[in-house]
Every structure is written in structure tokens, then in C-alpha cells.
């Protein structure tokens, strides 16, 4: 089975489970066949993650790292799609927003995701997280539909967070949405929280290694050891009763809560139609 078909089969399973459990919102089908077009960027990024994952840690650290963090070399963000089944032919050395951009170009470049497209609609051929947030939130980008509620998000949607008043080079964080599970973060029945599985590139994993519950473990942790780069983990988002995001925590065992007044969040879904 090809990696693309395998990825689509996995998403189809998620759709079936979601339909039964209502744990994840399912978008409308395009005719009689479910349209996976919106998830192709996620599928492209996840191919690199899963292939590199076969090298385990710390073996994959030479090919999978966050540039400039934790002693890693600085350099332009890059991703290499190699030969499935040959993990050492893959590379992920990209920061968060460029990882998303590179995978979108990989998936949709033949249709619309060109340097010119990103320059025109995001203000850069490789947008920052703040540029992703602002453009998606404005709702004016062709092929990207704003998703107003976390409870309407689906596998492959883009989560873009902007850091208001942030210092340093980071303008925010960008990730792919990969699923969600109800998660009581504060033992308060009056609040609503969700553990959201994300595929992203980060300088530190989601949650403190060594004490992350197994069901929410970050793929960049092994026991108490933490690694950086491309991987999958869980962030926690608080919503109101309608599903609108109110804020987030970096991981399920992180203590710092970031309200949207400090770090606003938006979600976008890829569409065929411009």
C-alpha cells in the first residue's frame, strides 16, 4: 500500500470513528465519495514524520531537528521527501510555520501553492506564524477557509497562533490539527477543555517529558528525554460552550495558560475552490 493511500485509509478510519463518537467534527462529503483534498498537506508532513520515526531517538536527531534550537545548526528551513521504507532518505529541519508551508507546497504546488501565491496572500514566500494567523483570520485567502470553532476542526486543518507582544524571533506557532479528546485540565466542571493532537515542528515537545500521560505522549519524548523537530503531541485548548477557543496550554501537564487576548488562535481548512 502506498504511503498516500495508507494515510487516507487512516483518516477514513478517523472519520468512521468520529461519526460514531462525535469526538471529532466531520465536514460534509463532496458527493458520494469523501474528499480528502483538504488533508493532503497534513498527509505530506505526516509521511516525513512517520518515516523518520522508524529511526527512533536519538537516531533521527541528525535528520529531524528544529534549526537554531538546543544546539542545532541555524539554516533555512527544509524538508526532504525521500523513498518510503528508506527513512534515512527523509529530512525535516524546519521551524513550525515553514514546515506547514513546505508541506502545502509539496501537496498543492501543482495547483496553487506557489511562491507567488504565498507572497500575494500571506506577504511572504515563507510566512511566519503571525502572517498565517492574520491572513487566515481575515478570511480572504483563496483555497483557505476559516474554521470558526475548534469543535468544527478536522484532521489536516491549520492551527495558527499569534504571540502578541512576544519577544525574540518567534511570532507564534503553526501546526496541523490531527484530532481532539475532551480533557479536564482544571477540575472545574464549568470550563471546557480539549486535548488536541497536533502535528508540528517545535523546539520543545508538548508537555514535560517523564510525566505526560501515556495517551497524550509527545513523539519527541523518550522517558524523561526531550527532543525537538517534527513530531506529534497534544496541546490543550479551552473553549466556550459553542466551541470558540478561549485560550490554550502547551501540553496536558503544562501549567501556563495563554488566553486569546495574549495569544489569539485561528483555524483554516484547505479547499479545492479558490
- Residue pair 155/179 in contact by the 8 Å Cβ criterion: yes
Cα dist from 76 to 151, 264, 268, whole Å? 35, 27, 25
Does the pLDDT value for residue 144 go beyond 90? yes
Contacts for 88 with CB less than 8 Å, ≥ 6 apart: 55, 63, 82
CA-CA distance, 189 to 114, in Å (whole number)? 46
Residue with the three cell numbers 515563507: 126
Residue with the three cell numbers 524523561: 224
State pLDDT tens for residues 162-182: 999 765 668 999 999 999 999
For residue 35, what pLDDT is reported? 77
For residue 170, what pLDDT is reported? 81
pTM (global) more than 0.95: no
Does the pLDDT value for residue 27 go beyond 90? no
State pLDDT tens for residues 108-127: 999 999 999 999 999 999 99
Give the three-class secondary structure for 107. helix
Provide the pLDDT confidence category of residue 8 given band limits of 50, 70 and 90: low
CA-CA distance, 31 to 146, in Å (whole number)? 22
Cα atoms found within 13 Å of the Cα of residue 123, Cβ hemisphere only:
10
Amino acid at each position: 500500500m502506498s504511503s498516500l493511500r495508507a494515510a487516507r485509509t487512516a483518516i477514513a478510519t478517523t472519520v468512521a470513528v468520529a461519526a460514531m463518537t462525535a469526538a471529532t467534527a466531520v465536514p460534509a462529503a463532496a458527493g458520494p465519495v469523501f474528499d480528502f483534498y483538504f488533508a493532503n498537506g497534513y498527509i505530506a508532513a505526516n509521511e516525513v514524520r512517520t518515516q523518520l520515526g522508524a529511526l527512533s531517538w536519538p537516531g533521527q536527531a541528525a535528520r529531524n531537528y528544529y534549526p537554531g534550537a538546543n544546539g542545532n545548526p541555524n539554516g533555512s528551513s527544509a524538508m526532504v521527501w525521500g523513498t518510503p521504507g528508506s527513512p534515512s532518505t527523509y529530512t525535516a529541519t524546519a521551524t513550525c510555520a515553514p514546515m506547514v508551508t513546505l508541506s502545502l507546497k509539496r501537496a498543492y504546488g501543482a495547483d496553487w501553492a506557489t511562491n507567488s501565491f504565498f507572497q500575494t496572500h500571506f506577504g511572504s514566500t515563507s510566512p511566519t506564524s503571525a502572517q498565517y494567523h492574520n491572513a487566515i483570520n481575515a478570511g480572504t485567502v483563496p483555497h483557505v477557509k476559516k474554521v470558526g470553532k475548534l469543535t468544527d476542526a478536522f484532521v489536516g486543518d491549520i492551527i495558527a497562533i499569534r504571540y502578541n507582544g512576544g519577544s525574540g524571533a518567534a511570532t507564534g506557532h503553526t501546526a496541523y490539527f490531527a484530532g481532539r479528546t475532551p480533557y479536564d485540565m482544571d477540575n472545574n466542571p464549568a470550563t471546557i477543555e480539549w486535548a488536541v493532537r497536533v502535528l508540528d515542528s517545535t523546539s520543545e515537545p508538548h508537555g514535560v517529558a517523564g510525566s505526560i500521560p501515556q495517551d497524550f505522549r509527545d513523539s519527541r519524548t523518550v522517558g524523561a528525554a526531550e527532543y525537538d523537530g517534527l513530531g506529534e503531541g497534544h496541546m490543550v485548548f479551552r473553549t466556550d460552550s459553542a466551541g470558540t477557543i478561549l485560550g490554550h496550554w502547551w501540553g496536558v501537564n503544562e501549567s501556563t495558560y495563554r488566553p486569546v487576548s495574549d495569544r489569539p488562535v485561528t483555524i483554516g481548512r484547505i479547499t479545492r475552490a479558490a
